[in-house]
Amino acid sequence: MDFTLSEEQLMIQQAAKDFAQNELLPGVIERDEIQKFPKELVNKMGELGFLGMMVNEKYGGSGLDTLSYVLAMEELSKIDASASVMVSVNNSLVCWGLETYGSEAQKEKYLTRLATGEIIGAFCLSEPEAGSDATSQKTTALDKGDHYLLNGTKNWITNGNQAEVYLVIAQTDVEKGHRGINALIVEKGAEGFEIGPKENKLGIRGSDTHSLMFNDVKVPKENRIGEDGFGFKFAMKTLAGGRIGIAAQALGIAAGAYELALQYSKQRKAFGTEISNHQAIAFKLADMHTKIQAARHLVYQAACDKDNGNDYTLSGAMAKLYASEVAMETAVEAVQIHGGNGFVKEYHVERLMRDAKITQIYEGTSEIQKIVISRSILKD
Rounded Cα–Cα distance for residues 324 and 359 (Å): 5
- Residue 380 pLDDT: 63
Burial code of 299-338, b = ≥16 C-beta within 10 A, e = fewer?
bbbbbbbbbeeeebbbbbbbbbbbbbbbbbbbbbbbbebb
Rounded Cα–Cα distance for residues 98 and 362 (Å): 21
Identical fold at 7-120 and 236-378?
Answer: no
- Residue 132 pLDDT: 64
- Residue 3 pLDDT: 79
3-state DSSP call for residue 321? Answer: helix
- Residue 2 pLDDT: 75
153 phi-psi bin (left φ>0, alpha ψ -120 to 50, beta other) = beta
Rounded Cα–Cα distance for residues 238 and 52 (Å): 15
Residue 204 phi/psi, 5-degree rounding, is: 35, 50
Axis-axis angle for helices 231-267, 313-338 (nearest 10)? 30
Rounded Cα–Cα distance for residues 56 and 58 (Å): 5
Could you tell me the sign of the dihedral formed by the alpha carbons of 324, 341, 344, 82, in that order?
Answer: negative
- Residue 129 pLDDT: 79
Which H or E run contains 232? helix 231-267
Top CATH class of 122-231 equals mainly beta
3-state DSSP call for residue 131? Answer: coil
pLDDT tens track, the chain, 380 positions: 777 999 999 999 999 999 999 999 999 999 999 999 999 999 999 999 999 999 999 999 999 999 999 999 999 999 999 999 999 999 999 999 999 999 999 999 999 999 999 999 999 999 987 766 677 789 999 999 999 999 999 999 999 999 999 999 999 998 898 899 999 999 999 999 999 999 999 999 999 999 999 999 999 999 999 999 999 999 999 999 999 999 999 999 999 999 999 999 999 999 999 999 999 999 999 999 999 999 999 999 999 999 999 999 999 999 999 999 999 999 999 999 999 999 999 999 999 999 999 999 998 889 999 999 999 999 86
Which is the CATH superfamily of the domain at 7-120? Acyl-CoA dehydrogenase/oxidase, N-terminal domain (1.10.540.10)
- Residue 275 pLDDT: 96
Rounded Cα–Cα distance for residues 17 and 195 (Å): 34
DSSP classification of residue 134: G
Inter-CA distances, 84 with 29, 50, 112, Å = 15, 10, 20
Rounded Cα–Cα distance for residues 108 and 105 (Å): 5
* CATH number at 236-378: 1.20.140.10
- Residue 364 pLDDT: 81
Active site residues: 363
- Residue 128 pLDDT: 87
Burial class (CB in 10 A: 0-12, 13-18, 19+), 129: exposed
Assessment of whether the complete model's pTM goes beyond 0.85: yes
Q: Give the domain ranges of the chain.
A: 7-120, 122-231, 236-378
Which H or E run contains 140? strand 140-143
Residue 228 phi/psi, 5-degree rounding, is: -60, 130
